[in-house]
């Protein structure tokens, strides 16, 4: 399987090279040349464990890894999860909750980043080279990436987070890691500023090459690939348990990576009626799927900070398919958006942007109300991001189509928001409580690409 750039300016490359590249050299995002059709395999896949299914899905995209290498990576990556199913599905009220928070940092990012850290190490061992990872995080990516690569040979990681815009626990999950190969950078700006710095430095090809920059953000295809697995795992189990022909997924999203993985699973043949895209007040994606207009706005601080994003980096992958794989048209749209902060996609003949994606907004009041309601009615604690998805899903429930809501983080990561919603301090986890007593290390920097560039230079040989 070879990989190409959405912007059409690089030669196709194998999986390993695509993983190490992160962002394509022409500024585009990498995609596989084909999306496999797996409809004939679904009945067999429905009986597989999570690890067995992960191997079957990933081998379709990572064919330059040997079967033994891939099996070992999958086994090791999910060994540290605290539930034997890895991503259990629980029936709660009108929904099926897909719990994606059983990894080491209690967030869905662990499903991809535990794998990616080990994959980097495997690929580096082949070449004997080193890698410097540059990451931007709105909260959970940073800690999950750090846990995936801390102490690993040949890897350094530089994580930018927006100062004061992540939860206190999210910050401590990052800054209490004192390994020599981990560098936390507190940037005086928004997540979009951090993401802009990342793209600027990756576009500086001489700097990228000199310092062997790689990415753990969802611009890296391996992140999306690993997340496709849990859509199949949950969808096939719920479909079998209910006898339904199709399912639908409610996905809280800010950067469009998680829901794009669901879009890929649907394109591969998973029987998904639709994906329900849920945003908070930072609603650029919801506005697009309801109007066809993708327009940047101001970033609002909310109870769900990992979604406080206005420019979704994975949107370009979706838009590439939306324009029929026309790289020239895609470049035109993205360059226009970079200049004006706005682009428009034509509606489909049925009057929708995409009949397979419904969208809505869960604001702060709705988030609190849903957390309180699900605790009082069902005894189930939702984190605020999951609550956004559950709120939006409520408008699209169907008797004939089970709805699977992605629970993207353990509620203890956002204990203050949960406390505000239900009036009781119930959201705790011993691993997170232990962080409160640990020392931290972090470097404050301005929201300037030059400052981050200089820091990387100073800490790499």
What the block records as the tokens of 8 is: 């059409």
8 A C-beta contact, residue 67 and residue 7: no
Which long-range contacts does 322-325 make (Cβ < 8 Å, 24+ apart)? 322/354
d(CA 196, CA 368): 31
109 among known catalytic residues: yes
Strand partners, 5: 30
8 A C-beta contact, residue 110 and residue 147: yes
- What burial letters (b/e) apply to 76-100, b meaning 16+ CB within 10 Å? ebbeebeeeebbbbeebeebbbbbb
Which member of 109, 199, 208, 413 is catalytic?
109
The sign of the CA dihedral 296, 297, 298, 300 is negative
Q: Which residues are catalytic?
A: 109
């Amino acid at each position: 399987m070879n990989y190409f750039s959405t912007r059409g300016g690089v030669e196709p490359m194998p999986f390993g090279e695509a993983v190490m590249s992160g962002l394509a050299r022409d500024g585009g995002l990498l995609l596989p040349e084909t999306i496999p059709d797996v409809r004939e395999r679904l009945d067999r896949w429905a009986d597989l464990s999570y690890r067995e299914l992960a191997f079957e899905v990933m081998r379709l995209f990572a064919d330059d890894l040997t079967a033994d290498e891939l099996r070992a990576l999958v086994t090791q990556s999910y060994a540290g999860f605290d539930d034997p199913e890895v991503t259990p599905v629980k029936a709660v009220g009108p929904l099926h909750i897909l719990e994606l928070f059983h990894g080491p940092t209690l967030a869905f990012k662990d499903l991809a980043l535990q794998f990616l850290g080990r994959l980097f190490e495997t690929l580096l061992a082949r070449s004997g080279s080193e890698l410097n990872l540059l990451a931007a995080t709105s909260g959970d990516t940073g800690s999950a990436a750090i846990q995936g690569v801390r102490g690993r040979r040949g890897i350094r990681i530089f994580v930018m987070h927006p100062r004061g815009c992540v939860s206190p626990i999210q910050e401590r999950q990052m800054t209490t890691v004192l390994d020599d190969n981990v560098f936390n950078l507190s940037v005086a700006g928004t997540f979009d500023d951090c993401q802009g710095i990342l793209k600027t430095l990756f576009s500086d090809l001489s700097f990228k090459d000199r310092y062997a920059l790689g990415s753990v953000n969802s611009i890296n295809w391996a992140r999306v690939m690993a997340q496709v697995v849990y859509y199949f795992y949950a969808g096939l189990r719920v479909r079998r348990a209910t006898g339904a022909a199709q399912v639908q997924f409610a996905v809280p999203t800010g950067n469009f990576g998680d829901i794009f993985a669901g879009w890929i699973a649907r394109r591969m043949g998973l029987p998904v009626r639709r994906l329900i895209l849920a945003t908070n007040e930072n609603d650029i994606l919801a506005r697009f799927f309801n109007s066809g207009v993708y327009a940047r706005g101001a970033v609002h601080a909310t109870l769900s900070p990992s979604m406080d994003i206005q420019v979704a980096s994975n949107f370009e992958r979706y838009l590439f398919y939306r324009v029929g794989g026309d790289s020239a048209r895609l470049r035109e749209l993205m360059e226009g958006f970079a200049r004006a902060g706005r682009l428009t996609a034509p509606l489909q003949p049925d009057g929708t942007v995409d009949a397979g994606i419904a969208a809505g907004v869960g604001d702060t009041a709705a988030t609190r109300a849903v957390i309180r309601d699900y605790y009082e009615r069902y005894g189930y604690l939702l984190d605020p991001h999951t609550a956004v998805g559950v709120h939006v899903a409520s408008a699209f429930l169907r008797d004939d189509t089970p709805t699977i809501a992605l629970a993207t983080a353990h509620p203890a990561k956002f204990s203050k928001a949960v406390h505000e919603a239900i009036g009781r301090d119930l959201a705790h986890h011993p691993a997170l409580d232990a962080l409160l007593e640990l020392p931290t290390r972090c470097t404050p920097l301005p929201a300037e690409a030059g400052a981050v560039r200089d820091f990387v230079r100073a800490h790499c040989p």
